[in-house]
């Protein structure tokens, strides 16, 4: 094996270890950021819909890409339309309890976030 091949192999091993370490750090951060609130069961929200509402409670305006991360169930690419589909399902289920607004070209927000947060505290 030439010295160039040896250096490349060594660099490959180092990068693989670094990637594994970073993946573990991301997993730990995601775990730490996972919401601890629970929503009323009479809302009959799916796990994905629950994550949608919890993301809305965590921020004033949740950008589409952040909402996609919150509700994503697999490693599929970003799909803004999927966020709107989930938003529509949640709106139907919680009608009269909360109002979800779409902020044009930005994301989603709860109209009265503080009141809703107090309901689920």
pLDDT in tens, the chain (121 residues): 788 999 999 999 999 999 999 999 888 887 776 667 788 889 999 989 999 999 999 899 999 988 988 887 666 666 778 899 999 999 999 999 999 999 999 999 999 888 988 888 6
Tokens in use for 14? 């180092």
pTM (2 d.p.): 0.68
Tokens in use for 38? 């629970």
Q: What 3-state DSSP class applies to 18?
A: helix
State the helix-helix crossing angle for 47-58 and 113-120, rounded to 10 degrees: 120
d(CA 40, CA 43): 6
* Residue 20: per-residue pLDDT: 95
Phi, psi of 110 (to 5 degrees): -90, 135
Asked if 15 and 33 count as a contact pair (C-beta separation under 8 A), the reply is: no
């Amino acid at each position: 094996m030439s010295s160039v091949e040896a250096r490349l192999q060594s660099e490959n091993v180092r990068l693989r270890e670094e990637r594994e370490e970073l993946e573990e750090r991301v997993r730990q951060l995601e775990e730490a950021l996972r919401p601890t609130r629970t929503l009323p069961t009479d809302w009959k929200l799916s796990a994905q819909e629950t994550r949608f509402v919890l993301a809305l409670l965590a921020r004033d305006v949740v950008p589409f890409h952040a909402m996609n991360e919150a509700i994503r169930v697999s490693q599929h690419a970003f799909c803004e339309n999927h966020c709107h589909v989930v938003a529509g399902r949640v709106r139907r289920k919680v009608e009269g309890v909360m109002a979800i607004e779409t902020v044009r070209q930005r994301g989603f927000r709860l109209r009265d976030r503080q009141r809703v947060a107090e309901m689920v505290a």
